[in-house]
């Protein structure tokens, strides 16, 4: 048995450490440990501040999914204070959320995940003419030709398409070869390029994918332009409680939003559709197909057993979330939990999750059995509204407190808490969302699917046909997790277009309102209030929980996608999603755990959001002022 430590895990946000025990003879992973190794304490910092400012603090939980926490926070505060946002603000926030998802998935696939599948070194062996031919085959075979719900003709033709010429691939290959020959490999240095898994793809596919890696590095910024127009910048665009700050006027030449500004957003949305249709979806499906054909259907872990999602994209405005109204007109009603999808959709079991479930302390709760915190009552999990955390760092099993050798899998070993649904673990993410919607429709729980829900089913069936495998076989795997993220990017590009169209029609009908400031003044608020904000973020189900007292934040908790997936084990609930996915994966060469990086990266780990957790009712720490004026 070999004990392997991978720390830091590269190509992720934040600080993650992995320890695995591998049987060297069989390559079987016997045990796996996932640890979030940093803690920032933002929820403690938010305490006592103005709830109208809180989104700005919460947004800084993560700069990668750079707006999802703002949205989660705004929704929580608005839920607590009973604020209904105008319909234009809902459309604009939805466009921003959808473009965020397209962008995040694109950067994840090409820049944070691709190098687990493709290699610039292998690309050097490619024949550029054959690469051009393969590019054409890929476009023909793996493009899913969905058209979305809204016809549009503001683009004369799809301007973004991969170049399928010998000269283009020759040029790219020359450039890569200069980098490799220079010896200054920079970010490409030192990787397991000699690993046999890189032989799964022919050199021409490596060259195609590396060309697109470079191409997308330059183009990704244009996907998220709606944030810059509506929110003034990216990362970290601006919002306000009650709506959006970007007033709309067709009569004022200095207006934040007018026709010219909307046209900029439109171009960006059209570009997103072209990029996902012509690059992302064909690339991910072509690579996935080759890996599946080579027998890579592992790494599913928890996905086939239990997945959770909250649902998102309120089609129209709603009165609240905790009262259940939010769930009535969602474009994607993925709210719910599905168990046993791995046994086929007919045998899968669906459990609803909405309204009153959110306030039931038995449904959603967090535990700290293996986390560096202590609870007042040992072993009793707590609902986020009444969560208690007090940091209690205990150090590693071997080594010292500031120089670890091995962490203590039997004791506490992570700054991440363990969230649970009905006392059980669940995986979240685009794969979870797709599994829930597919199950709900196939089992007749959703009888009249929205266009977006129908598109999810159509996408899954198209890919199942391509791979010649049923959904329960290909979806809960490393390949499936990665492929579904590509499908989700395509879906979200069309969602941007859909809400852009709604926004235009609303303005056309004479409504330009973007903010509801009727309850802006704290004097109008109740003395005590609590709310929940839900968002189906690029990495999965996100929930923010706030309690407000006398106009100030009294308690704040965020239960985030990476907490669900990266959490430490629990003696009753078992392993978390990362840990279980590693245990399911075989490692060919113990010293070169490429498979472990690949399965972990398939979750798009983003640790900043998982490792800030703190509760305002926790033990008071020493207050240190860095303010030079005090």
Partner 1 sequence: MEKRDTLWQLFQKKNVSRRDFLKTCVALTSIMGLSTEFIPRVIEAAEKKPLLPVIWLHGHECTGCDETFIRSQTPLASDLVLNMIALEYMDVLAATGGDRLEHQLEETIKNYPGQYVLIFEGAVPIAENGIYCMVGGKPILETVKHVAKNAAAIIENGSCAAWGGIQAARPNPTKSVAVSEVVSGKPIIKVPGCPPIPEVLTGTIMHYVLFGQLPPVDNQGRPKQFFGNRIHDTCYRRPFFDSGMFVEKFDDIASKAGWCLYKVGCRGPEAYNSCGNMRWWNGMSYPIQSGAPCVACAANNFWDNDPFYERLPNIPVPNTIVNADKVGAILAGVTTAGVVAHGVASYVQHKLHEAKAEKSQDVTAEDKPEQDKDNE
Residues at the binding site for Fe cation are: 65, 609
User: Which CB sits closer to partner 1, 296 or 413?
Assistant: 413
| Beta strand residue intervals within 298-391, DSSP E | 306-309, 312-314, 330-332, 336-339, 349-351, 364-367, 373-374, 390-391
Catalytic residue (one of 15, 69, 108, 113): 69
Active site residue 65: yes
User: Which CB sits closer to partner 1, 1 or 217?
Assistant: 217
User: Binding partner 1 by CB under 8 A: which of 24, 136, 199, 232?
Assistant: 232
Classified as helix, coil or strand, 172 is: helix
Residue 8: name the closest of 582, 40, 605, 17 by CA.
17
Stretch that binds partner 1, among 12-20, 302-310, 553-561, 573-581 (CB under 8 A): 12-20
Stretch that binds partner 1, among 56-64, 128-136, 307-315, 439-447 (CB under 8 A): 56-64
* Burial class of 183 by CB neighbour count within 10 A (0 to 12, 13 to 18, 19+): exposed
User: Binding partner 1 by CB under 8 A: which of 15, 93, 481, 539?
Assistant: 15
Q: Does 411 bind partner 1 (CB under 8 A)?
A: no
Q: Which residues contact 293 (CB under 8 A, 6 or more apart)?
A: none
Up-side HSE of residue 126: CA atoms within 13 Å toward CB? 37
Rounded to the nearest angstrom, the gap between the alpha carbon of residue 278 and the centroid of all alpha carbons in its chain is 22
Write each residue from 580 to 599 as x if it is in contact with partner 1 (CB under 8 A), else as -, in one continuous string.
-------------x---x--
User: Binding partner 1 by CB under 8 A: which of 254, 447, 448, 571?
Assistant: 254
Residue 102: name the closest of 497, 534, 596, 522 by CA.
497
**Which residues are known binding-site members for Ni(2+)?**
65, 606
Per CB under 8 A, contacts with partner 1 among 473-512 are 512
| Shortest distance (Å) from residue 184 CB to partner 1 | 5
How far apart are the C-alpha atoms of 213 and 118, rounded to whole Å? 10
Stretch that binds partner 1, among 189-197, 343-351, 376-384, 488-496 (CB under 8 A): 189-197
Q: Does 442 bind partner 1 (CB under 8 A)?
A: no
How far apart are the C-alpha atoms of 8 and 538, rounded to whole Å? 23
Active site residue 567: no
Q: Does 374 bind partner 1 (CB under 8 A)?
A: no
Q: Does 17 bind partner 1 (CB under 8 A)?
A: yes
* Burial class of 174 by CB neighbour count within 10 A (0 to 12, 13 to 18, 19+): exposed
| Shortest distance (Å) from residue 285 CB to partner 1 | 23
Q: Does 461 bind partner 1 (CB under 8 A)?
A: no
| Shortest distance (Å) from residue 384 CB to partner 1 | 19
User: Binding partner 1 by CB under 8 A: which of 263, 264, 294, 349?
Assistant: 264
User: Binding partner 1 by CB under 8 A: which of 404, 498, 545, 564?
Assistant: 404
| Shortest distance (Å) from residue 476 CB to partner 1 | 25
| Shortest distance (Å) from residue 457 CB to partner 1 | 33
User: Binding partner 1 by CB under 8 A: which of 145, 156, 157, 190?
Assistant: 190
Per CB under 8 A, contacts with partner 1 among 97-156 are 107, 111-112, 115
User: Binding partner 1 by CB under 8 A: which of 20, 32, 39, 484?
Assistant: 39
Task: Report the alpha-carbon angle 369-535-571, nearest 5.
Answer: 15
Q: In angstroms, how far is the first alpha carbon of the chain from the final one?
A: 56
User: Binding partner 1 by CB under 8 A: which of 153, 156, 183, 465?
Assistant: 183
User: Which CB sits closer to partner 1, 338 or 514?
Assistant: 514
User: Which CB sits closer to partner 1, 95 or 463?
Assistant: 95
Q: Does 256 bind partner 1 (CB under 8 A)?
A: yes
Per CB under 8 A, contacts with partner 1 among 59-78 are 60-64, 66
Structural tokens at position 209: 């994918």
Stretch that binds partner 1, among 93-101, 218-226, 331-339, 475-483 (CB under 8 A): 218-226
How far apart are the C-alpha atoms of 58 and 559, rounded to whole Å? 12
Kind and range of the H or E element at 29?
strand 29-36
How far apart are the C-alpha atoms of 134 and 585, rounded to whole Å? 30
Q: Could you tell me if 180 and 120 are in contact, meaning their C-beta atoms sit under 8 angstroms apart?
A: yes
Kind and range of the H or E element at 17?
strand 16-22
User: Which CB sits closer to partner 1, 309 or 565?
Assistant: 565
Q: Does 259 bind partner 1 (CB under 8 A)?
A: no
User: Binding partner 1 by CB under 8 A: which of 145, 346, 377, 401?
Assistant: 401
Binding footprint of partner 1, residue count (CB under 8 A) = 116
User: Which CB sits closer to partner 1, 163 or 221?
Assistant: 221
Q: Does 247 bind partner 1 (CB under 8 A)?
A: yes
- How many C-beta atoms lie closer than 10 Å to residue 251's C-beta? 7
Up-side HSE of residue 32: CA atoms within 13 Å toward CB? 28
Cis-peptide into 194, omega within 30 deg? no
| β-pair type (540-549, 528-537) | antiparallel
Stretch that binds partner 1, among 254-262, 424-432, 501-509, 572-580 (CB under 8 A): 254-262
Largest CA-CA distance found in the chain, in angstroms, rounded: 74
Catalytic residue (one of 60, 65, 93, 306): 65
Rounded to the nearest angstrom, the gap between the alpha carbon of residue 98 and the centroid of all alpha carbons in its chain is 12
How far apart are the C-alpha atoms of 502 and 420, rounded to whole Å? 37
User: Which CB sits closer to partner 1, 41 or 149?
Assistant: 41
How far apart are the C-alpha atoms of 224 and 67, rounded to whole Å? 11
Active site residue 73: no
Reported residue count of the chain is 630
Q: Could you tell me if 223 and 271 are in contact, meaning their C-beta atoms sit under 8 angstroms apart?
A: yes
Active site residue 246: no
How far apart are the C-alpha atoms of 437 and 451, rounded to whole Å? 12
| Shortest distance (Å) from residue 64 CB to partner 1 | 5
Which residues carry out catalysis?
13, 62, 65, 69, 539, 562, 606, 609
């Amino acid at each position: 048995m070999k004990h392997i430590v991978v720390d830091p895990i590269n190509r992720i946000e934040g600080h993650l450490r992995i320890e695995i025990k591998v049987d060297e003879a069989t390559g079987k992973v016997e045990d796996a440990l996932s640890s979030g190794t940093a803690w920032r304490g933002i929820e403690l910092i938010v305490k006592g501040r103005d709830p109208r400012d809180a989104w700005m603090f919460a947004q800084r939980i993560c700069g990668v999914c750079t707006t999802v926490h703002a949205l989660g926070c705004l929704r929580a505060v608005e839920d607590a204070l009973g604020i209904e946002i105008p319909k234009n603000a809902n459309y604009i926030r939805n466009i921003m959320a959808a473009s965020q998802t397209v962008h995040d998935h694109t950067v994840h696939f090409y820049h944070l995940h691709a190098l687990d599948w493709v290699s610039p070194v292998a690309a050097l062996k490619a024949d550029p003419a054959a690469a051009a031919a393969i590019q054409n085959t890929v476009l023909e075979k793996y493009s899913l030709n969905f058209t979305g719900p809204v016809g549009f003709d503001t683009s004369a033709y799809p301007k973004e398409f991969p170049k399928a010429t010998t000269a283009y691939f020759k040029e790219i290959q020359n450039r890569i070869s200069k980098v490799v020959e220079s010896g200054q490999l920079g970010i490409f240095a030192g990787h397991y390029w000699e690993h046999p898994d890189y032989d799964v793809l022919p050199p021409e596919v490596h060259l195609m994918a590396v060309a697109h890696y470079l191409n997308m590095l330059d183009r990704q910024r244009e996907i998220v332009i709606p944030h810059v127009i509506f929110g003034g910048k990216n990362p970290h665009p601006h919002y306000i409680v009650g709506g959006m700050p970007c007033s709309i006027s067709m009569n004022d030449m200095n207006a934040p939003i007018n026709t010219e500004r909307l046209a900029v957003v439109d171009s960006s949305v059209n570009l997103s559709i072209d990029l996902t249709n012509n690059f992302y979806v064909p690339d991910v499906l072509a690579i996935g197909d080759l890996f599946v054909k080579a027998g890579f259907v592992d790494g599913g872990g928890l996905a086939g057993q239990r997945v959770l999602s909250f649902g998102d994209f309120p089609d129209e405005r709603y009165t609240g979330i905790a009262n259940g109204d939010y769930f009535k007109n969602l474009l994607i009603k993925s709210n719910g939990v599905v168990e046993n999808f791995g046994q086929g959709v007919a045998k899968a079991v669906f459990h609803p999750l909405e309204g009153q479930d959110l306030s039931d302390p038995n449904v959603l709760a967090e535990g700290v059995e293996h986390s560096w915190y202590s609870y007042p009552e040992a072993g009793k999990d707590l609902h986020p509204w009444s969560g208690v955390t007090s940091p209690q760092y205990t150090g590693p099993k071997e080594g010292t407190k500031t120089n670890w050798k091995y962490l203590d899998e039997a004791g506490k070993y992570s700054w991440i808490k363990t969230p649970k649904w009905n006392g059980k673990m669940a995986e979240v993410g685009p794969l979870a969302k797709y599994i829930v919607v597919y199950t709900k429709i196939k089992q007749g729980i959703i009888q009249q699917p929205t266009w977006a829900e129908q598109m999810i089913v159509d996408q899954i069936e198209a890919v199942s046909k391509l791979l010649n495998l049923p959904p329960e076989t290909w979806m809960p795997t490393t390949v499936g997790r990665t492929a579904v993220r590509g499908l989700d990017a395509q879906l979200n590009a069309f969602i941007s277009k859909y809400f852009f169209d709604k926004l235009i029609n609303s303005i056309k009908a004479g409504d330009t309102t973007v903010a509801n400031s009727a309850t802006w003044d704290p004097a109008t608020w109740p003395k005590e209030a609590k709310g929940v904000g839900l968002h189906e973020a690029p990495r999965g189900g996100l929930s923010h929980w706030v309690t407000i007292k006398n106009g100030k934040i009294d308690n704040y908790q965020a239960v985030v996608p990476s907490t669900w997936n990266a959490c430490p084990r629990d003696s009753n609930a078992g392993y978390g999603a990362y840990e279980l996915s590693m245990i399911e994966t075989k490692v060919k060469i113990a010293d070169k755990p490429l498979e472990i990086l690949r399965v972990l990266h398939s979750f798009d780990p983003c640790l900043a959001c998982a490792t800030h957790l703190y509760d305002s009712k926790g033990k008071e720490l020493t207050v240190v002022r860095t303010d030079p004026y005090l």
